[in-house]
Structure 1
Amino acid sequence: MLPSLDELLGTARVVALPLVTRFRGIDSREALLLHGPEGWAEFSPFAEYDDEEAAAWLRAAIDFGWEKTPAPLRDRIPVNATVPAVDAAEVAAVLARFPGCRTAKVKVAAPGQTLADDVARVRAVRDALGPEGRIRVDANGLWNVDEAEHAIHALNEFDLEYVEQPCASIEELAEIRRRTAYLDVGVAADESVRRADDPLLVARTDSADILVIKAGPLGGIHAALALIAQAGLPVVVSSALDTSIGIAMGAHLAAAIPGLDFDCGLGTASLLAGDVTGDPILPVDGSIPVRRVTPDPDLLDRYQASAERTAWWLARLSRCHALLP
C-alpha cells in the first residue's frame, strides 16, 4: 500500500553532499532521504526533471523502503571507475579513488570541450589501466550521428568495451550501431531507457547491444527486474550520483539479476566528498557489498540542505506523491 504523504514527510531529510570534482555541471548532490519499514531509501531525481518523470524516482524510493527486496544471487557487485570530464592530468587521481576497479567509464562530449580533450582523457585512462583494463565511454546523447562516428573511430585505438548513449534518439542509436558494426564496439542505451516513454523500444528495435539500468528512474527494483526480463539484453546497473543509500538500492537490484556480464556503475560514492554514513559503500578490490545503509544523525545534520532547498524538495515530494496511483 502506498504510504501517506504525512508518513513520508515525517521521516524526510534533505542533504546536499559536496563532490570531489565537478560532475554533470554540479558541485554538490542534493537528495531527499526517507525511512520506511524496510529501511532507508533515497529520492533524488535531478533538479531539471519535471514532476511526472520525478514521480518514478519516488516510486522507486517507496519500493526500496517499504517493500521486501528480491532474494540476492550474489553478495558483492563488481563495479567500474567513473572518470568525469577532467583534464588528462587529473585522471590518475580520479582512478585512485576506485581501488581494484579494472573497468573505467569515461565521460566524453562535455560542453565546452573538444574531441581532442576526450582522446587525451581516454588515453590517460588506458595508460593507467594498462592493456588488460576495460574502457567504456559515455556521451550522454550529446553527439549527432556524424560526430559519434568520427569520435568512435578516433577512440577505437583504445579498445573500447562499448560507447554509452552516443546519440540522443533511438533512430540515431540504430544508425550509429549500423555504421560502426565492423569495429566491434557495442552501443549501450541509458537515456533511451530511463527517460523514454517506452523503455523497451530500444530493445525491440535492435538499437542497442546493452541496456544501462538505473533503479530510480525506472520505478524501483521490482519494475527494473521486470523490464530486464522482457528486454532480453545484457545490462549494466548504474547509479545517478547517489548517496550510499541510493547505491544500496542499485546494489540490491544488481544482486537479483540472473546474469551480470558487465561491471556495474555503482562505485560513484567515490565521487562524493561527503556522505550520509561513516561507512559508505565504496569499491574495495573492484567491487561493492550488497547491504542496506543507515545514515549517521551527525552527518545528516552536517550536510543538511539549506532551508530554501529543503522546502523545495519537500514541495516536490508532495507533488510527486499526488501523481502516484
Structure 2
Amino acid sequence: MKTWIDFDAAPVFAIALTDPIGGVTVCEGMVIEGPQGWGEFSPPPSSDGRQDGRWLTAAIEVGTVGWPDPVRGRVPVAVTVPSVDPGRARQIVANSGCATAAVRVGDSTGSLEIDIARVEAVRDALGPSAVIRCDANGNWDVETAVAAITALDRAAGGMEFVEQPCRSLDDVAAVRRRVSVPVAVDQSMRDGVRDGDRQRLHDAADIAVLTVGPLGGVRRALRVAETCGLPCTVAAEPETSVGLAGGLALAGVLPDSGYASALAGALLLSGDVVTPGRRLVPVDGHLPVAPMPPGPDRARLVDLVPADPPTVARWRQRLAAAQVYL
C-alpha cells in the first residue's frame, strides 16, 4: 500500500477556526492522494503514534479500497456550537440552516451559568421544534454532571441527549442512572469496543457516537457500529471537506437511527482546501453522501501551507511515524 501513495508529497495545510473549540484555534493536517482519491490526515495534538496510525488508515481508505456503498443519498446534520457567548451562538445556528444543534459545554470550571445562557440562546434561535444536544467532552465528574445535565435540560426545553459527560465509562454509567436525559458516548467508541466491554457500554449509554478518523476508517467504524449494539450517530473533529466526506460516507451506510450527524464542521473553518462550490456546507440541514470526497484545489493548498517551517516538519514527522502502524 505504501508504494501506491507518495506520502512525501502530501501537502500540509493550516486553516484558522472561526471560534476556538476546546482550546484549539486552527485546523491543521495533510491531504493525501491515493490511486482512487484523496483523504485527510488531521489527528488532534493529543493523539499518540498508534492513534495517528488509525487516522492514517482512515485517510487512505477511500483512495485504496474505497468506501462501502451508501444506503442513503443525503443525511441530516447537526451544527456544532463551540463554547461561545450567547450572541455568537445565536448567529452560528441561525446561519447554519440546521434543525439540530450540538452545543459544547463544560469547557471551563464554573462555566455552568455561561453554558446555560448559551443553550438558552440556541433554543431561542432555533425555535421550539428544533433539537438540542450537549457535548461535555468528558469534562465533568459525576456530581457535576448530574447537576449540570438537569439544569441544561431545563434551559434547552428538553435535550435530545448529552454526549460524554465524564471521561470513564463507569462514571458515565453512574451519571446515566441518575438523570432522565439519554446519554451518548464517543470515547469508548474511539478506543474500540471489546467483547467484555459490551455490557458495560450498554449500562453506560443509550447512543454511540462514531468518528471515522479515530476509529480507523469507514469500514472499521461500521464494524464497531455492528458490534456495539446501540443506535449510532456520526460526528467529526474539525476537518476540511475532504475529511468530512468520510463521516458522511459512514452516516450514509448506517441505518437511520433518527439522530442527525454532527458533520457541519466546514462551517467552523475560515476556509477550506476545496473550492467554494465543493465545500460540504449544509443545505436545508442536510449534506449529500458521495462515493468519493471532493478533491482539493491545488492553488488553495499552496495558500494554506503553514508559514512556519517547524509546523510543516512536525506534520511530516507525524505522518512518517504513523506509517509504522499501517
Q: Same fold (TM over 0.5)?
A: yes
Q: SS in structure 1 opposite 2:17? A: strand
Deviation per CA, 1:247-298: give whole Å up to 9, x if none. 0111111111123321001111001010001121000100111232111111
**Residue among 188, 192, 199 paired with 1:192:** 188
The alpha carbon displacement at 1:64 in A equals 2.1
Return the TM-score normalized by structure 2: 0.93
- Match of residue 134 from structure 1: 131
Shift in alpha-carbon separation, 1:9–1:236, aligned structure 2, 3 A? same
Using the alignment, how far apart are the partners of 2:29 and 2:324 within structure 1? 19
| Correspondence for 2:49 | 51
Question: 3-state SS of the aligned residue for 1:46?
Answer: coil
Q: Which residue of 1 aligns with 2:40?
A: 42
> Within 5 A, what are the aligned runs for 1:142-181?
142-157=139-154, 158=156, 159-180=158-179
Q: Do the aligned partners of 2:78 and 2:263 also contact (CA within 8 Å) in 1?
A: yes
Give 1:108's aligned residue. Answer: 105
Once the 2 structures are TM-superposed, how far is the Cα of residue 84 of structure 1 from its aligned partner? 0.4
Equivalent pairs, count: 317
Separation in structure 1 between the aligned mates of residue 87 and residue 36 of structure 2, nearest angstrom: 44
Q: 1:115 to 1:49 in 2, by over 3 A?
A: same
From 20, 23, 26, the equivalent of 2:18 is 20
Aligned position for 1:314:
316
Quote how far apart the aligned CAs of 1:23 are.
1.6
Residue identity matched to 2:298: P
CA distance in 2, matches of 1:125, 1:138: 14
Taking structure 1 as reference, are residues 65 and 97 closer, same or farther at Cα in structure 2, changes over 3 Å only? Answer: farther
Displacement of 1:156 in angstroms is 1.9
Query: Is the 1:69–1:221 Cα contact (8 Å) retained in structure 2?
Result: yes
Separation (CA, whole Å) in 2 of partners of 1:113 and 1:51: 34
1:111 Cα deviation after fit: 1.9
Q: Is the Cα–Cα contact under 8 Å of residues 193 and 228 in structure 2 kept in the other structure?
A: no
1:1-325 equivalences under 5 Å are: 2-4=1-3, 7-99=5-97, 101-112=98-109, 114-157=111-154, 158=156, 159-180=158-179, 183=180, 185-194=181-190, 196=191, 198=193, 203-205=198-200, 206=202, 207-278=204-275, 279-291=278-290, 292-305=293-306, 306-324=308-326
Amino acid of the structure 1 residue aligned with 2:161: Y
- The share of aligned pairs that are identical, in percent, is 39
How far does residue 113 in structure 1 lie from its aligned partner after superposition? 5.0
* Alignment RMSD (CA, Å): 1.5
Q: Secondary structure at the match of 1:48?
A: coil
Q: Which amino acid aligns with 1:317?
A: L
Measure, in 2, the Cα distance between the counterparts of 1:244 and 1:122: 27
Decide which moves more: 140-149 or 258-267.
Answer: 258-267
Tell me, which stretches of 5 or more residues in structure 1 are unaligned?
none
For 1:108, the aligned partner's letter is: V
Offset at 1:10? 4.1
Conserved? CA contact 1:31–1:243, under 8 Å:
no
Cα distance in 2 between the residues matched to 1:177 and 1:8: 47
Any stretches of 5+ residues in structure 2 without a counterpart? none
| Distance in 2 between residues matched to 1:174 and 1:8, nearest whole Å | 45
Give the direction of change, closer, same or farther, for the CA distance of 1:103–1:203 in structure 2 (3 Å limit): farther
Is 2:207–2:231's contact at 8 Å kept on the other side of the alignment? yes
Q: What is the TM-score normalised by the length of structure 1?
A: 0.94
